[in-house]
A and B are shown apart, each in its own frame.
Chain A
Amino acid sequence: MSAEEAPASASVVKDVVVSSMEVEAFRRLFPLQYIERYLDAAVRPDGRPLGRARPTDVVLGQVPTTDGSALVRLGNTTMLAGVKLELSVPSTETPDQGRIAIDFQMPPICSPHVRPGRPAEDACAINEQLSNVLASSQLVDLREFSITSGKSAWMAHLDIYCLNADGSLLDAALLASTAALMDVQIPAISINDEGKVQIINFREDQDEPMVDAEKVSETKRKVVDKRRLKLGPAPVAVTCMLYKNHLLADPTAEEEAVLHTVVIVVLDSPDNLISLYKPGGSVLATTSTVMDCIAVARLRLKEVHRILEEATKREGED
């Protein structure tokens, strides 16, 4: 290569880099500056305005082996929630209440940062927050799960699996939990005069319950039909990211990794807070920033309630 040629070839290389490679390299090498440039132009790397959440999709009844299930997609974040009901004896302190056990799982398939084996710290934190939110939101009245006071009640196991972790995990997990609970159908049961409860299984090809005719005639039975769970207003979580003066709603994993400071707001109606969560972070909040986050959450609340309504309608049609 001669001295005259060198600058020319360098500029060609530079052009090639500029055309396709440079953005990707810049993104990997300087993730903060990459996002900052977008924020200065008041857009996000995926083209959203700062305050808007990603497209959200809710499908109910995806898993036929459960009593209620939902698949939720929030952008790329995917959550699958299922509710299994089983008969149990209520605790003596709350004889006319059932129980609900929540388990949030982040298997290694969901993100490269999750290691197999011990549950991740984040998973524990989300699990705890989810339990707190569901307990304080009055979404489920636990008395709904009661069958006979002091003797039997339903125990609901709500398991949420994160299939793809791309930010705003609590938002998606809560939405999946709510949707799965909306989908719950409490099976029909028969209670004999000794108070023994039995689940009646309907076969798909016949409408008659699969209980032996002789047995029915032997003892008096009370049959309780299958029913839907009555639910309160659905709580909606919105994750907001704070960076300098910007407020980003529903961050992706890429944004979460770089910007650090997060505020999670949970509402169930425009002027009822259920939970507020701001764990540390480098950006400090004043009361007005918190109120801004609540305002963003209010807008999102309407949208999510509409999405949930549509999902139930679609489920009803099928």
Chain B
Amino acid sequence: MDFLSPEGLRLDGRRALELRQLQAEVGVVEKADGSATFEMGNTKVIAVVYGPREVQNRNQQQHDQALVRCEYSMASFSTGDRRRRGKGDRRATELSLVIRQTMEAAILTNLLPRSQIDIFVQVLQADGGTRACCINAATLALADAGIPMRDIIVSCAAGYLNSTPILDLNYLEDSGGGPDLTVALFPKLNKVSLLQMDSKIPIDVFEKVMSLASEGARTVAQFIKETLMENTTQLALAKGPPKF
């Protein structure tokens, strides 16, 4: 299948090195300590953070750091054909673990000992790149909750189709059989926290795809920073001028 037209356009009209349209909203859930939605094209994810709060299960309490928990779930209507996924779903469990470990690396857990932070990530619409989208949404939600992080963590996926590196795959491209590489990194430190790839790929191609995904992630970082900045400005305006 041709994923790139002779003019160099992809199935959804993007160029090979183009991200999908990004959209984010912070503070979407009233009762939560932090929440955000993040959209990459048609992929839409909502993330909610509760905490830091008292550890629910006392024997899990850690005296020197916070306990981070994460649950990933996919709405049954999120994919093309409706599929009911139970909680014991293997893919969901694996993804929850991956997101938890990634966010744990970002959170300064040693500043919040004996507490618990819950991250719930729900995929509302899935169109490829859910992993990356979940991490971006979780970052925004954590920032909204005011949880100390060493840096924001941002993520983006990239692939390799028709011998061209392609940024931010959608579902059709994702199921095109090529490699799909997800990177999550700290933009300021320029260091990779999460790296996941499952497909046969020559090593020299891997380097290209990896640098493309990192570049994409840095663009996402810029967008997330702007979103947070705007959100903070609005909060400051709502609060009114400082009283002396």
Task: Enumerate B71-90 residues with CB–CB distance to A below 8 Å.
Answer: 88, 90
Q: Mark A121-150, 1 if CB is under 8 A from B, else 0.
A: 110110111011101111000000000000
| Contacts between the two chains (Cβ within 8 Å), count | 108
Partner pick for A277 among B96, B195, B201, B204, CB 8 A cutoff: B195
**Contact B192 A290, beta carbon cutoff 8 Å:** yes
Task: Enumerate B171-199 residues with CB–CB distance to A below 8 Å.
Answer: 181, 185-186, 189-199
**Contact B94 A273, beta carbon cutoff 8 Å:** no
**Contact A272 B203, beta carbon cutoff 8 Å:** yes
Partner pick for A128 among B91, B189, B210, CB 8 A cutoff: B91
Interface size class of B (residues with CB under 8 A): 35 or more
**Contact B200 A138, beta carbon cutoff 8 Å:** yes
Return A14 CB to nearest CB of chain B, in Å: 30
Q: A273-B197, A290-B195 are in contact. Are A280 and B101 (CB under 8 A)?
A: yes
**Contact B210 A281, beta carbon cutoff 8 Å:** no
Q: In the assembly, what is the distance between CA of A135 and CA of B179, in Å?
A: 12
**Contact A279 B102, beta carbon cutoff 8 Å:** yes
Return A296 CB to nearest CB of chain B, in Å: 13
**Contact B201 A273, beta carbon cutoff 8 Å:** yes
Return A30 CB to nearest CB of chain B, in Å: 14
Return A104 CB to nearest CB of chain B, in Å: 9
Return A78 CB to nearest CB of chain B, in Å: 23
Residues of A within 8 A of B100 (CB): 280
Asked if B3 lies at the interface with its beta carbon under 8 angstroms from chain A, I say no
Residues of B within 8 A of A132 (CB): 198
Partner pick for A285 among B195, B196, B204, CB 8 A cutoff: B195
Asked if A276 lies at the interface with its beta carbon under 8 angstroms from chain B, I say yes
Q: In the assembly, what is the distance between CA of A272 and CA of B193, in Å?
A: 23
Residues of B within 8 A of A286 (CB): 190-192
Q: In the assembly, what is the distance between CA of A282 and CA of B103, in Å?
A: 10
Which partner residue on chain A sits nearest B97 by CB separation?
A125
Q: In the assembly, what is the distance between CA of A271 and CA of B101, in Å?
A: 29
Which partner residue on chain A sits nearest B198 by CB separation?
A132
Q: Of A125, A129, A132, which is in contact with the most chain B CB atoms at under 10 Å from its CB?
A: A125
Asked if A19 lies at the interface with its beta carbon under 8 angstroms from chain B, I say no
**Contact A284 B91, beta carbon cutoff 8 Å:** no
Asked if A278 lies at the interface with its beta carbon under 8 angstroms from chain B, I say yes
Asked if B207 lies at the interface with its beta carbon under 8 angstroms from chain A, I say yes
Q: Mark B205-226, 1 if CB is under 8 A from A, else 0.
A: 0110011000000000000000
Q: Of B94, B98, B100, which is in contact with the most chain A CB atoms at under 10 Å from its CB?
A: B94
Q: In the assembly, what is the distance between CA of A291 and CA of B194, in Å?
A: 15
Return B136 CB to nearest CB of chain A, in Å: 15
Partner pick for B97 among A118, A121, A290, A291, CB 8 A cutoff: A121
Partner pick for B105 among A125, A282, A291, CB 8 A cutoff: A282
Which partner residue on chain A sits nearest B89 by CB separation?
A124
Asked if B93 lies at the interface with its beta carbon under 8 angstroms from chain A, I say yes
**Contact A284 B191, beta carbon cutoff 8 Å:** yes
**Contact A128 B90, beta carbon cutoff 8 Å:** yes
Return B215 CB to nearest CB of chain A, in Å: 12
Partner pick for A280 among B90, B103, B181, B203, CB 8 A cutoff: B103
Q: A268-B200, A273-B202, A280-B103 are in contact. Are A127 and B90 (CB under 8 A)?
A: yes
Supply 11 further A-B pairs (C-beta < 8 A) apart from A271-B203, A280-B102, A286-B191.
A128-B94, A272-B200, A273-B200, A273-B206, A274-B199, A276-B181, A276-B196, A278-B192, A279-B194, A280-B193, A290-B192
Can you list 30 A-B contacts with CB-CB less than 8 angstroms, sorted by A residue number? A118-B88, A122-B97, A127-B90, A127-B94, A131-B90, A133-B198, A137-B200, A271-B203, A271-B204, A272-B203, A273-B201, A273-B202, A273-B206, A274-B199, A275-B199, A276-B195, A276-B206, A277-B195, A277-B196, A277-B197, A279-B194, A279-B196, A280-B100, A280-B105, A280-B193, A284-B105, A284-B191, A286-B190, A287-B211, A291-B207
Question: Which 6 residue pairs across A and B have the least CB separation, nearest first?
Answer: A280-B101, A284-B191, A124-B93, A128-B94, A278-B195, A280-B102
